[in-house]
Structure 1
Amino acid sequence: MRYTDIPVLPSNARPGDTMEVFFVKVTQISSDFQWPLDVHGFVAVRDSLDNKRNYLFRPSRAILLWDEPVFEIDLKVKYKGSSSSEDDKISCLDFFGYNNICYKGSLSYTRTEVVSSKHSTVEVRFAHLKRSVEATIMARITKGSGNFSARLTACNTSIGEDVVLLDTRGQGVSVGKDGEVTLQRRVVVVEEKAQLVLGIKAEQLGDTAESSTMVEKKFGFYAKSALRNEGYFHIGSSSLHILVAWSLLP
């Protein structure tokens, strides 16, 4: 949101090459573990803008592809029967880079990186986006309550794969005092000539937390250099205001 509300954009603000991470998934485990896994830890990417960790599950800004970014994966499996994190076993502890400098193509593309360790195999799915801008998504309840489950996704039409911003998995959404819905991710990147498609699927919950009404809707917004787009979603007696703030890079 660095340039969202600036009347006159500086000369160094422009679309740029960025990375979008779609998912990080544990696909195989050793005999030391059993499904389902209770995993904790973090996955982060460092780029050359400030070399700080940009955590994938709560990113604060776009991942820039000026130089080679570095992934950092530190995942542990909760040891059953112990309350101490010191007893947890390391599932994956690794670093790897993406050599974006070698890619000279003009089109965005996706790839999957497979990281194998002693106890598990982890897949990381991401995209190299050409000439893209940053979109920050916010959701706020303006009427009613958060007594509904929701799944919110974002799709850049030039790639066609979804980024999951929120998935409550049948539970009610988490709402702050000001009505803001807590998203698991809120920053995505979109090619400057593409659309951002937000898809939401929600189910109203009854007194016993059983779903009663399902509503689905999609919002399409063309990428912008700045300013905002908005839309409204209604589920039962509740209204959800969705806001997209656009910004150039860096």
Structure 2
Amino acid sequence: MHAAAVSSMQYTHLIPGSTRLHYGRVRPSLQIFSVKLAEIRGGLEWPLPVYGTVAARDRVDHNRNLLFARNRSECQILNEEASFLTLTGPSRAIVNEQSVVFEIQLKVRGRTKSQDKALMNGVCSYYSRREAPICFRNCICTVELSMERLKKSVQATILGVRVKEEGSWPKAFGGRVACSVIGPDASPQEIELLDSRYTTMPITCQGYLVLSRIVVSVDYRGNLNFILEAYSDSGNKVAQNNESFKLKFSNISKQNVNSPEALS
């Protein structure tokens, strides 16, 4: 099975007005907020080491657009207080002009591979008039996929969040990066890009934060608001800053944000 091959930056470097309308258009898309293991039963007990895939297929290329993908050796430990899968996708916007098919294949890792247990195997089609969230149920669990449909949207790719050369992220601080869409058809719900509140912030040698997700949909009449938070080693939020980006139909935007020591 192939993964989505269409780039999320296909039109980024075009000069506005230089391409015909049908190459790049404002289209309806699905904004994915979260995938949660909402309930367990049938003898299952927390915590659960979970691996597998969650994917979407639309009519753009019919390939799997992965939202979550982990193999057995890198399973995610879920517990009752933190039962959300750490999403790494979509890799491009999920277009919803027609139906979108969601596929879930999740397993619980056992002591040996032969002891692994199927947690959820499900397929569900989403149409524009269907209510969200979508719930997948079987005899042992319920998985909840939270999302919304943006009627007229473009996609944004977050190229990077970087700690500039003259500073660094304090070692005693964890952090969180999220964004929300401000627009007539968009809810204010946050899309989490990185959650490192209780662990060391993942930073490259060039100073870039390693984000879990980088692609979101934006209402074409709205803005994209970023939330950057710093946390103490005890897990308390000690600083926050918000930055808003105006929508562009091509090209790249940059803005500077204060370091955690200066946030208020």
TM-score (normalizing by structure 1): 0.81
Q: d(CA) in 2 for partners of 1:221 and 1:128?
A: 21
Do 2:32 and 2:148's aligned partners in 1 also have CA atoms closer than 8 Å?
A: yes
2:100 to 69, 80, 97: 69
Residue 139 of structure 1: aligned partner: 161
Letter in 2 for 1:186: I
Separation of aligned partners in 1, 2:65 and 2:206: 26
User: Cα distance, 1:98 vs. partner?
Assistant: 0.3
1:229 to 248, 253, 259: 253
Shift of 1:4: 1.1
In the aligned structure 2, how far is the partner of 1:63 from the partner of 1:193?
Answer: 19
Paired position in structure 2 for 1:117: 138
Q: What SS does structure 2 have at the residue aligned with 1:66?
A: coil
The answer as to 2:250 corresponding to 1:189 is: no
Letter of the 2:238 partner, please give it: M
What root-mean-square deviation, in Å, do the aligned CA atoms of Structure 1 and Structure 2 show? Answer: 2.3
| Paired position in structure 2 for 1:11 | 21
Map Cα deviations across residues 69-114 of structure 1 (whole Å, 9 max, x no partner): 11011111222xx1x34422111110101023xx4xxxxx972111
Q: Which runs of 5+ in 2 are unaligned?
A: 1-8, 68-86
The alpha-carbon distance between structure 1 residues 224 and 187, as it changes in their structure 2 partners (threshold 3 A), is same
CA contact (8 A) 1:203 1:235 kept: no
Please state if 1:44 is matched with 2:55: yes
Distance 2:161 2:131 in 1: 28
| CA pair 213-117 structure 1, distance change in 2 beyond 3 A | closer
CA distance in 1, matches of 2:234, 2:208: 23
Rounded Cα–Cα distance in structure 2 between residues aligned with 1:218 and 1:15: 26
TM-score normalised by length of structure 2: 0.77
Alpha-carbon distance change, 9 to 49 in structure 1, aligned in 2, over 3 angstroms: same
**What fraction of aligned residue pairs are identical, expressed as a percent?**
29
Structure-2 change in CA distance of 1:111 and 1:10 (3 Å): same
Report the equivalent of 1:2. Answer: 10
Counterpart in 1 of 2:3? none
- Per-residue CA distance 1:32-89 (angstroms, 9 max, x = gap): 211222222221101111111111122221111132111011111222xx1x344221
Aligned residue type for 2:162 = R
Looking at structure 2, the residues matched to 88 and 111 of structure 1 have their Cα atoms a distance apart, in angstroms, of 31
Q: Distance in 2 between matches of 1:17 and 1:53?
A: 18
Stretches of structure 1 that go unaligned for 5 or more consecutive residues are 104-108, 240-250
Structure possessing the higher relative contact order (Cα contacts under 8 Å, 6 or more residues apart):
1
- State the match for 2:81 in structure 1: none
1:160-192: CA deviations, max 9, x gaps?
111111101311111223332211111100110
Provide the C-alpha distance between the structure 1 equivalents of 2:245 and 2:124, rounded to a whole number of angstroms.
Answer: 34
Q: Which residue of 2 aligns with 1:202?
A: 230
Query: 1:64 corresponds to which letter in structure 2?
Result: V
Distance verdict in 2 for CA 1:78–1:233, change over 3 Å: farther
Secondary structure in 2 matching 1:228? coil
